[in-house]
Structure 1
Amino acid sequence: MPDAVAETRAAQTPRHPLDPLTPDEIRRAATLVRAAHDLGAGMMFETISLSEPDKSTVHDLRGGADFPRQAFVCAFDRTNGRVFEARVDLVADRIVDWRHVPGVRPRILVDDILLVGEVARADPRFRAALARRGITDIDNVQVDPWSAGYYGLPDEEGRRLSHTFCWYRSEKNDNGYAHPIEGLCAVIDLDRAEVLRVDDYGAAEVPMASRNYAARYRTIFRDDVKPLEIVQADGPSFTVEGNEVRWQRWRFRVGFTAREGLVLHAVGYEDEGRLRPVLHRAALSEMVVPYGHPGGGHFRKNAFDVGEYGIGVLANSLKLGCDCLGTIRYFDAWLADSKGQPYCIESAVCLHEEDFGILWKHTDLFTGEVDVRRARRLVVSSISTVGNYEYGSFWYLYQDGSIQFEMKATGILNTAGIRAGEAPRFGTIVSPGVYAHYHQHIFNMRLDMAVDGERNRVVEVDTMALPTGPDNPHGNAFTVHETVLASEQAAQRTVDFNAARYWKIESAEGRNRLGQPTAYRLMPTSPVPIFSNPQSSVARRAAFMTRQLWVTAFDRDEMHAAGRYPNQSRGGDGLPAWTRADRPLVDTDLVVWHSFGLHHIPRPEDFPVQPVTTAGFMLQPVGFFSENPALDVPPARSTMSCCAG
């Protein structure tokens, strides 16, 4: 839908302090900043988003009450690289803070992504390097922009850069990743719109086998796939008012930012007529994709897809209806372009229910009586395309009080060309002359916990086998050992499989009927060891990936695990910087940061398009309830409907 039409449907007045900025608020924030601090013709807006209010504002909100609205604005001058931050009071229409942030680089913008190919293809040095490879039809060369990282190269100092890799398309819809142009990398100065340098590491023959995957290229399809209909004749079990969702006992708010994409706010569970908080805010804080090839320009492949590009900016519109099935409710995302104008990603977030097998069951062996309940879960999802890859962020809420996050990774492998007779040491051959490098996808989730209130603590739980002896004569005994992680330094932890380790977030005040502290546990299901040297550029810049758990005292400005500006950073920002203070963590407002991911040794089966693979974690109630909270889920209406499910 055209943005003008979409804007008429968007809420012009926010209903809640946590609602994303409306189109009018985005426009007003940009106008106010430009009027007070015009940077001239080179002024670009990196970010215009909600500056989230103090928690007290959310907690104290009364129906119909006025509430503050502020925007966070990051703008920069591409003529000199200077970056500025502002906070804008949207109620009083005034700038409340404006400051220069020295020594940082803003995100790579959509404008930059489109610019890179044009600039590279127009450069004589780049054209000459292509000609040496026998390529003269320049328009068929696909140039992918990559964040440049930081490697201390003198000619790159003080510039905002993009590094590139190239592929060839024999036609518009061809899968270019089947035809890598090996060894050719251009380094682009984004602000000057010029090629700084062309790095030529030596050519390999461009493989030209067709590896197209789209339906238009297929003539034979399976003929045994029968229709599978998902029907909710009575409609869904959830209700939506504005950005608030209510489903079963759950209540939460849907948010969205240009950088993080999908955000969940104010997640709570209604228990005996009382809404009990679990999470104040949950969002993908950062991610990094380190590749394992040491040469040929590939050593620079370590993209921070959240902080360097913005996974929200790259979100898909899901309106085609193939990404979600059932009775669906969509949420649009309103973002700001580089000129400060609002634009809409229609249907950026999908909400639906799905069947999830058995919830619980027992057969009484003595009476033959069977009790079974069918499970369903609520799905909140968003999918982003970052170059060759798709990342699907999926939150699942369950009837037993559990919360799950799952990252679904698909798309196309990033490929390289292999020279004749060369044996790949750092990748897998996936097509003749084409190989895909070993790499990882490591994510960090920021979980602003609020288990029965804001005063929480984190407890590490290890299972321990007892030594054989008088207290364990048969050698079968094991128990658990609990350790309170009392400070930020002590709370930098890794998974221990030998101890079946997990972490509990306990309430300082809440107790269940059994006298136990109410808690949720973080169950790591996709921990990834790192193979980057601790002194490598990527490990210094993405220190979050060295631990599966970090815990910090709450600070509203500490939002991103690798810092606010990871683009071309030297490292040390974010979690390692904040935790040096070693703030106390017992019975206080705290934030849990969980790192998890995918260790990807590519397979031929991952090409030409990769089947979905997943990574994530679980948050499960531990003493939050005094018994199974799903006992009140009703039986299926009939045996037929149960079996049909």
Structure 2
Amino acid sequence: MERLSQLSMHTTASNAPPPRPDHPLDPLTPGEIKSVTDLVKASYNGKALNFNTVTLREPIKKAYYDWKEKSGPLPPRIAYFVIVVDGDNGVHEGIVDISAQRVIEMKHTDGVQPILTPADLQLTEDIIRKDPEVQRQCEISGIPPNSMHQIYCDAWTIGYDERWGASRRLQQALMYWRSDEDDSQYSHPLDFCPIVDMNAGKVISIDIPQKRRKVSKYKHSNYHPKHVAEKYGTKENPSGYRQDDAPIDITQPEGVSFKMNNNVMNWSNFQFHIGFNYREGIVLSDFTYNDHGNVRPILHRLSLSEMVVPYGNPDFPHQRKHALDIGEYGAGNMTNFLLDANGQFCNCKGVIQYLDGVLVDRDGNPEIIKNAICIHEEDDGILFKHSDFRDNFQTNVTTRGKRLIISQIFTAANYEYCVYWILRQDGTIKLEVRLTGILNTYICSDDEDIGPWGTVVYPNVNAHNHQHLFSLRIHPRIDGDNNSAATSDAKPSPYPTGSPQNMYGNGFYCQKNVFKTVKDSITDFESATARTWDMFNPSSINKYSGKPATYKLVSTFCSPLLAQEGSLVRKRAPWAANHTQVVPYKDENYGYGRLYPSGDHVPQWSGDGMRGMREWVGDGTDNVENTDIVFFHTFGITHFPAPEDFPVMPTEIFDLMLRPRHFFIENPVMDVKPSSARTTAEVRQGALSSTDTKTMTVDKTSRLATEAVQGGSSSCCDIGKENLILTSLPPSTTEKDIPQRLLDLGLQWTTKECIDIEEGGIDASKVCLLDPAAEVDLTPSDKSKFDYFVFGGILGSHPRVDRTGILREKYGFSGRRLGALQMTTDTAIRTTQRIIEDGVPFEDIKFLDYPEIKYNKYESTEMPFRYIVDKQGDPILPEGMLELIKNDAEQSIDDLLIE
């Protein structure tokens, strides 16, 4: 039973507060953390303290919006702290008013334990190695006493064990052996489990199975480069890594589309605040969307508030393996830094902005996680598109989207959790979680029947069945504070086939069930009805649909909690028993409230009593309709391990999204620049798009993936589709004169001798004319000088016209030569690509001049041009050229176009 001891208030008289950030939701600065710990140390009169937590106590919601929306005062900077006091059990916690430089609350609570920090976990390994009984158990397992440096453990919170309850601060040590320091210990689990008292610094018990198992001496399975080389390396490929894995680079030559003011993000009409704390990790707050000048609130706060990973082996002591990682360790505490030791961008790719995380160490000093949060953009594929079949799909608009990603990665013992908050330009907010890392393993004998509770993934390695369930906390603020929530189910018509209301039996509709009370909101996913959930403002009605402005939660990765009623897991994670719970919002303890569904202090909680979600649900009668609500959603997966998951697991991905419905009056991304647009009138007139290129997104980097790039033969030129332009066609040319294959490639064409330079927004100084009369040959260094290359070619009018000369005289383009011999446009493009894109000097390119082409046993023809050769030494010809020669050796490409 919890005992609350309220202590006296302490105030300091002389210290000035440290500089505060401009934004009330910004995490505590290093200076603020040091100020808090100095005040706490003074308040405890020199007692020996270990700091566990110092974090921002976010301002109450009303105070925040009074400041933001009503020009009210800045809310005070409030910090929350947890300390471990030598000689005392339980939790010592309190509140500090940084602005006033005083401790305004301190309390000591029995029956609970504070969160475990990485420093706590590291101490456990030192303790177990020195313990004589652990050494004896290792010897029984086949590990000699002089090899204790090869013993490792994953320190887990004990969950709850009735032998001790919360009377001691305990960890269970899941034991492993490494054959060398680079071994993966998960290939060599041990069969016993020490229990460590963290406050006493000693092992107090060891759980030993009835059936003993010797440590596996099978060669370890590992995933580091030297082990990959040992396993897969060959004489030709010593590294063992795949040689066909070409790199992909993300380029943004004009920079990023987002703007940040400290922690406030502005991107594609979104504005929101990015926070970070020890427990939830990334916190996104105060979402708004600029709807053509009308700045509309969407969400007040979004975060992962808890998670549980229950394992499915019912044998003792595996029932204790059900880590509530966010509440017992903290996603922020376990966050990785996202640049490696060499400064390599190994976790994020592109043009990146990082934010640091600031925590506290045991001594009360600020501890900075460099580059804890990664912010970057990615291509998001087609945002919208439509083509008209009536003119062979030439009338079209294609708009590509981008997405903004805010991510962190945290390591919970063996598992890595990659958390990606993703924003799309259409107002959608997505959450994607990627699981990787290593399976939690337990030892099994060669002849052991492990039953249905796990899988043998490597010799003597048993990986138990388990689940990964998360609690997503959503505080909606859709067009204001008063919101409602509902289920949304696809239902067939209630009327039978043949009835007047459903004559043909094909009717179906969307059934809404609005939650009036907390009890109504306790629901589960229904795949049979494609269930989604709506959060909406009943007072904000869409003028077209007549329905309320809504954000719809679409979530299909909704594994049910498989632990049965009465189990320890269900008691300690009551929120996980259902997929939704909606509760009214309330401020708490000098700040923002109702954050953690398993309670403020999770380690060693028995699951008894009213706390967290159980307290908030109460008797289920609280109103949640048209009021300030918090929506909790449980989602996740069930994992039955397989050998493919070992020795390191490929990412397993699951996601969900919040989509605007009836929030906008039309598609909100029609103002995103298209990458291709052509009207019916333009198609009919045989014109290119009249859209100003300045209002379009021009793709300057995409190109056709051809064998020419890889040094082989090719059927087409390596050139971006939007940049493929055929000029100088006869004035009478129409669409039907253009070969369909070129149209399929996205060919643009014109009867002019060149595209309009100024109207097209092209800098003429960046244009290079491939000119046989030029005095200088094209070299790889020209890549930095030119963005566009114009080829005269051999296509066009008949008789032939010196179009290259016309372009030279009319536009004054800089000229470059491709050697002395004439080549086709196809070969000229290939040659330019080799020089400019691949950096190959002209003299190193292999050509075949005037090749004799045989198209049957008796007939051949000599081609009057120079060609690049493939790896077999054969000339690379345009696709269909041999067939054209065979059909009519006298007919040229010019004739084909004119006729």
Smaller-chain TM-score range? over 0.9
Larger-gyration structure (1/2): 2
Q: Please state if 1:435 is matched with 2:474.
A: no
**1:138-153 maps to which residues of 2 (within 5 A)?**
138-153=148-163
Structure 1 residues 559 and 38, CA, compared in 2 at 3 Å: closer, same or farther?
farther
Give a deviation string over 1:300-357, Cα, whole Å, max 9, x none: 1111110101110110000231111110000001111222211100000000000121
Evaluate the alpha carbon distance shift between residue 545 and residue 39 of structure 1 in structure 2; reply closer, same or farther with a 3 A threshold. Answer: farther
CA contact (8 A) 1:525 1:618 kept: no
Instruction: Name the CA distance, whole Å, in 2 between partners of 1:431 and 1:139.
Output: 24
Partner of 1:359: 383
TM-superposed CA distance for 1:559, in Å, is: 0.7
CA RMSD of aligned residues (A): 1.8
The Cα of 1:404 is off from its aligned counterpart by 0.4
Aligned to 2:220: 210
Instruction: Select 2:348's aligned residue among 321, 324, 334.
Output: 324
Higher strand proportion = 1
Measure the CA separation in 2 of the matches of 1:89 and 1:398.
Answer: 38
Q: CA deviation at 1:269?
A: 1.0
The answer on whether the counterparts of 1:404 and 1:618 sit within 8 Å (CA) in structure 2 is yes
1:369-391 C-alpha deviation (Å, 9 max, x unpaired):
11111121000000011111100
Residue 468 of structure 1 pairs with residue 478 of structure 2: no
How far apart are the structure 1 equivalents of 2:256 and 2:406? Answer: 14
Q: Which amino acid aligns with 2:177?
A: Y
Q: 1:67: how far off?
A: 3.7
More off after superposition, 30-39 vs 368-377: 30-39
**Separation in 1, partners of 2:700, 2:329:** 49
The residue that corresponds to 2:517 in the other structure is 487
Check conservation: 2:66, 2:73, Cα contact below 8 A: no
For 1:53, the aligned partner's letter is: P
**Structure 2 equivalent of residue 601 of structure 1:** 640
The CA deviation string for residues 27-69 of structure 1, in whole angstroms up to 9 with x for no partner, is 111111221234712x222211111112233223268964411
Residue matched to 1:538: 569
Equivalent AA in structure 1 for residue 447 of structure 2? G
Q: Does 1:444 align with 2:471?
A: yes
- The answer on whether the counterparts of 2:96 and 2:102 sit within 8 Å (CA) in structure 1 is yes
Cα deviation 1:434-482 (Å, max 9, x = unaligned): 1211000110011111111111000211121124141223221111211
* Separation in 2, partners of 1:638, 1:318: 32
1:285 to 305, 313, 316: 305
Larger displacement relative to structure 2 (202-211 or 309-318)? 202-211
Whether 2:653 is the aligned partner of 1:614: answer yes
Among 173, 176, 189, which residue is 2:182 paired with? 173
- Given candidates 356, 369, 383, the residue that maps to 2:409 is 383
Alignment of 1:303-322 (within 5 A): 303-320=323-340, 321-322=345-346
Match of 1:523 in 2: 554
* Partner amino acid, structure 1, of 2:405: V
Distance 2:247 2:176 in 1: 38
Task: Give me the whole-angstrom Cα distance separating, in 2, the residues matched to 1:152 and 1:125.
Answer: 23
Report the more deviating stretch, 120-129 or 203-212.
203-212
State the partner residue of 2:670: 631
Q: Which runs of 5+ in 1 are unaligned?
A: 1-10
Provide closer, same or farther for how the CA distance between residues 89 and 479 of structure 1 changes in structure 2, counting only shifts above 3 A.
same
Distance 1:157 1:378 in 2: 43
| Contact 2:525-2:556 at 8 Å conserved across structures | no
Mapped contact 2:350–2:377 kept (Cα < 8 A)? yes
Q: Which residue of 2 aligns with 1:423?
A: 449
Equivalenced residue count is 632
Contact 1:239 1:247 in 2 (8 A): yes
Which residue does 2:615 correspond to in 1?
A: 577
1:512 aligns with 2:556: no
The one-letter amino acid of 1:566's match is: V
Higher deviation after alignment, 295-304 or 597-606: 295-304
Q: Distance in 1 between matches of 2:61 and 2:224?
A: 48
Give yes or no for contact 1:39–1:77 (8 Å, CA) kept in 2: no
Report if the CA contact (8 A) 2:113-2:166 is conserved.
Answer: no
Which of 186, 189, 199 is residue 197 of structure 2 equivalent to? 189
Residue identity opposite 1:531 in structure 2: L
* 1:385 match: secondary structure: strand
1:65 & 1:566 partners in 2: Cα distance?
35
Mapped to 2, the partners of 1:356 and 1:593 lie a distance apart of 28
Distance in structure 2 (CA, Å) of the matches to 1:269 and 1:334: 29
**Residues 92-131 of structure 1: CA deviation (Å, up to 9, x unaligned):** 1012222222321111122320111111111111111111
Unpaired runs of 5+ residues, structure 2, are 1-17, 230-239, 587-591, 676-696, 704-719, 722-899
Distance 2:46 2:160 in 1: 27
Assess if the C-alpha contact under 8 Å between 1:109 and 1:338 holds in 2.
no
Cα shift at 1:361: 0.9
Look up the match of 1:47: 53
- 1:394 aligned counterpart, secondary structure: strand
Encode CA deviations 1:196-237: one digit per residue, 9 max, x unaligned. Answer: 101111422322322110113222111111121111011000
**8 A Cα contact 1:243 1:254, kept in partner:** yes
Q: Which moved more, 1:363-372 or 1:124-133?
A: 363-372
Name the structure 2 match of 1:8: none
C-alpha separation between the residues in 1 aligned to 2:174 and 2:91? 28
- Answer yes or no: is 1:87 the counterpart of 2:87: no
| Distance in 2 of aligned mates of 1:299 and 1:69 | 42
- Match of 1:218, SS state, is helix
Q: Does 1:225 align with 2:264?
A: no
Residues 541, 547 of structure 2: 8 Å contact kept: yes
Could you give the per-residue CA deviations for residues 566-602 of structure 1, whole angstroms, max 9, x where no partner exists?
1110115311221115311111111011100121001
Give the 3-state SS of the residue equivalent to 1:310 in structure 2. coil
Q: Give, in whole Å, the separation in 2 of the partners of 1:256 and 1:49.
A: 9
Equivalent residue number for residue 265 of structure 1: 285
Instruction: Confirm or deny: 8 A CA contact 1:332 1:344 kept in the other structure.
Output: yes
Aligned residue for 2:618, secondary structure, equals helix
Q: Structure 1 residue 640: deviation in Å? A: 5.2
CA distance in 2, matches of 1:248, 1:334: 28
The residue type paired with residue 575 of structure 1 is: M
**3-state SS in 2 of match to 1:127:** helix
* Residues 340 and 418 of structure 1: CA distance in aligned 2, closer, same or farther (over 3 Å): same
**Does structure 1 residue 13 correspond to structure 2 residue 12?**
no
In the aligned structure 1, how far is the partner of 2:470 from the partner of 2:127?
32
**Residues 487-521 of structure 1: CA distance to partner in whole angstroms, max 9, x if unpaired?**
11111110111121111111132222223211101
Report the counterpart of residue 728 of structure 2 in structure 1.
none
Q: Is the 8 A contact 1:598 1:614 kept in 2?
A: no
Match of residue 482 from structure 2: 455
Question: TM-score under structure 1 normalisation?
Answer: 0.95
Give the alignment partner of residue 116 of structure 1, picking from 121, 124, 146: 124
- Stretch of structure 1 that moved more, 588-597 or 367-376: 367-376
1:5 match: none
Alpha-carbon distance in 1 for matches of 2:61, 2:225? 49
What is the aligned counterpart of 1:370 among 391, 396, 399? 396
Asked whether the 8 Å contact 1:374–1:642 carries over to 2, the reply is: no
Separation in structure 2 between the aligned mates of residue 424 and residue 482 of structure 1, nearest angstrom: 46
- 2:39 is aligned to 32
Letter of the 2:434 counterpart: K
SS at match of 1:245: strand
- Matched with 1:592 is 631
State which of 549, 553, 556 in structure 1 corresponds to 2:584.
553
The more displaced of 490-499 and 62-71 is 62-71
